[in-house]
Structure 1
Amino acid sequence: TAFFHGELEEEIYIVQHVGFIVKGKEHKVCKVRRSIYGLKQESRQWYHKFHQDIISNEFQKIEEDHCVYIKRSKNNFIVTILYVDDM
C-alpha cells in the first residue's frame, strides 16, 4: 500500500514478532527500515515522499490547498488532487 513507501527520518525499533523470536535472543529488537502501519509518522512520511516525486515531475503545489498540484504547459494543464482514506 501507499504508506509502505514512506522513508523514516529517525531510527525506530520494535520488539520481535512472537514467531520470529530465537531462543536465547529474546532481548533482540527489530529496526524498522520503512514506514509501517501503526506508526504516528506514516501519513506524514508518505505525503513527504509523494510531494518530492510530484514536484520532481514539474508540478507546483497550490498554496491555498496543500493537497492540490498543478502542471502547466503552453495550451494545457493537469490538476492533481491528493486524497488518502487511511481508515
Structure 2
Amino acid sequence: MRTTESEEEPAFQEPETEEEPAYDPWVDDTPLRYRNLSEIYASCHSCIVEPENFDEAAQDEAWKKEIENEMNMIEKNQTWELVNRPFNKPIIGVKWVYKTKLNLDGSVQKHKARLVAKGYA
C-alpha cells in the first residue's frame, strides 16, 4: 500500500525544547571570591587568649577591672551574700567565666567577667 506525502512522517524532527530549570534554594550561584594569603594573614593579626582561672585574670589590669565591676554589680543587685559554711548542707561553689567580645574588624570591644554558680553540684 502506498501512502501520500502528507501522511508520511517527516525525516527530520526538531528536538523538544527543555523548560527552564526551576529555582533550587539549595544551589548557591554566588560567585566565589578568592583572596591572597597576605589578606588572610592580615585579618588574623591578633590572637585572643582568655584567662582559664582567677590567677591568670588577676595578672591583667583589664580583667581585674571587669572582676571588680562584676563584684560591684552583685553587691548592688544583692544577688547573693557570703555566709559561714553550714555543716549539714551541701556547698554550691562558684567559678569565674571570662569572655572577650570583639568588634566586626576583630578588635577587642570589651572583656566580660562573670561569677557563676556551679548549679550542677
TM-score (norm 2): 0.22
Question: Which of 1 and 2 has higher RCO (CA within 8 Å, sep 6+)?
Answer: 1
